[in-house]
């Protein structure tokens, strides 16, 4: 019996070693695939027409989706006649993305495209996903879902991503990994940081972005509220709490326009005690404030300052993404609070 027990222990140890090696190989191959697809990707989602828009226009005649190419989008418009130039029936603009989602695309279809990126966060890589577009284009719906929360199929990317991570952590528990998750939610309004998870009526201290240590490139926000989370329902409660405190206002382009960038961050810490292994990463999902043209939005006073701040920070983000794509030696993270805050989520091996 002792000999049998010893042989079984040896066999078990060999199996555990093989499972561990296979898991490490899976992580390596998964990351190789993500890097081949590109650490920076751009998807385009076209929202369906709203009821009041259907009354003004018939369908989307100016948008064309080539049936054999899910990466292309064609925009057309009538040609304005100009003196000295031959008039054409219409002008055509071809755009290419990593993926184009038609107006009928569901929240689940969108999530399937980013699901593997979310998995990278569990594997130890920082992942950051932005919803970018003009005001009223459906960014908050894509990220958080409808307000108030509706059926499970309408849930946005944040609850879906968190659910995927919790399920993945549960599977990895059988391989010896234990994970801890904590969430924060802040907004950047007029280039100032505001904690969205404070209790109602509670005034938080002024938030600033600091380095963890003088010689460290790691950034953090002292005094920001971090809430331990274990279930999707807890995250949904945080979304409702944060949404009730976010800065919104009516403009000439949107009845309820988000006037700030909202940044949801999930801190992920994994540990394999038996092998003394640790991994730490973050998943950041950002619902950017909507860009808008001043002459169309009719913004004045506070709205005007908000619009200028929003457009300035979006321009700074564009410069950072462009510099990362071109592998430039200097990345202008410090041009805005938004890019400085997300510096650790954008450079290096981040997705």
pLDDT computed for residue 69 by the predictor: 92
Please tell me the distance from the alpha carbon of residue 80 to that of residue 74, in angstroms, as a whole number.
19
Predicted confidence (pLDDT) per residue in 168-216, tens digit: 999 989 888 899 999 999 999 888 899 999 877 677 778 899 988 888 7
Task: Please report, rounded to a whole number, the percentage of residues in the chain having pLDDT higher than 90.
Answer: 46
Among residues 272, 269, 278, 270, the alpha carbon closest in space to that of 19 is found at 272
Binding residues for ATP, by number, are 133-140
- pTM of the predicted model, to two decimals? 0.85
Radius of gyration over alpha carbons of the chain, in Å? 23
Q: Decide: helix, strand or coil at residue 230.
A: coil
DSSP-derived letter for residue 214 is T
Q: Is 227:266 a contact under the CB 8 Å cutoff?
A: no
| CA 77 to chain CA mean position, Å | 32
Counting every residue, how long is the chain?
Answer: 351
Domain residue extents for the chain: 1-51+60-78+90-291
Binding residues, by number, are 133-140
Among residues 266, 248, 129, the alpha carbon closest in space to that of 189 is found at 248
Predicted confidence (pLDDT) per residue in 256-270, tens digit: 456 789 999 999 999
Q: In the predicted model, what is the mean pLDDT of residues 12-37?
A: 88
Predicted confidence (pLDDT) per residue in 294-330, tens digit: 555 555 566 677 788 888 899 999 999 999 999 999 9
| pLDDT-based confidence at residue 87 (cuts at 50, 70, 90) | low
Q: What average pLDDT does the chain have?
A: 86
253, pLDDT greater than 50: no
pLDDT computed for residue 298 by the predictor: 53
DSSP-derived letter for residue 200 is T
Task: Return the higher-pLDDT residue of 301 and 287.
Answer: 287
Give the pairing type, strands 219-220 and 210-211.
Answer: antiparallel
- CATH 3.90.550.10 for the 1-51+60-78+90-291 domain, yes or no: no
- Exposed, middle or buried, 201 (CB in 10 Å: 0-12/13-18/19+)? exposed
pLDDT computed for residue 82 by the predictor: 61
């Amino acid at each position: 019996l002792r000999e049998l027990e010893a042989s079984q222990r040896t066999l078990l140890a060999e199996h555990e070693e093989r499972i561990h090696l296979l898991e490490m190989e899976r992580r390596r191959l998964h990351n190789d695939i993500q890097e081949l697809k590109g650490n920076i990707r751009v998807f385009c989602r076209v929202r369906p027409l709203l009821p009041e828009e259907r009354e003004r226009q018939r369908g989307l005649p100016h948008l064309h989706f080539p049936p054999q190419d899910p990466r292309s989008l064609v925009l057309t418009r009538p040609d304005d006649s100009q003196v000295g130039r031959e008039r054409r029936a219409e002008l055509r603009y071809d755009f290419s993305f990593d993926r184009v989602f038609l107006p009928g695309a569901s929240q689940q279809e969108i999530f399937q495209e980013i699901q593997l990126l979310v998995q990278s966060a569990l594997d130890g890589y920082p992942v950051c996903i932005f919803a970018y577009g003009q005001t009223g284009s459906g960014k908050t719906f894509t990220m958080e879902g409808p307000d108030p929360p509706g059926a499970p199929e309408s849930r946005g990317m944040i609850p879906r991503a968190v659910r995927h991570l919790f399920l993945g952590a549960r599977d990895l528990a059988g391989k010896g990994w234990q994970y801890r998750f904590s969430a924060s939610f802040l907004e950047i309004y007029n280039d100032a940081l505001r904690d969205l998870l404070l209790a109602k009526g509670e005034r938080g201290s002024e938030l600033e972005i600091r380095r963890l240590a003088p010689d460290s490139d790691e950034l953090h926000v002292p005094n920001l509220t971090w809430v331990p989370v274990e279930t999707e329902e807890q995250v949904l409660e945080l979304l409702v709490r944060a949404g009730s405190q976010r800065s919104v206002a009516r403009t000439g382009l949107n009845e309820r326009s988000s006037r700030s960038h909202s940044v949801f961050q999930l801190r992920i810490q994994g540990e394999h005690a038996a092998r003394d292994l640790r991994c730490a990463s973050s998943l950041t999902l950002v619902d950017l404030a909507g860009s808008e043209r001043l002459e169309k939005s009719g913004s004045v006073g506070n709205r005007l300052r908000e619009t200028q701040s929003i457009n300035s920070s979006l321009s700074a983000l564009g410069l950072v993404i462009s510099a990362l794509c071109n592998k430039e030696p200097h990345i202008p993270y410090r041009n805005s609070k938004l890019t400085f805050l997300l510096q650790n989520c954008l450079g290096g091996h981040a997705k």
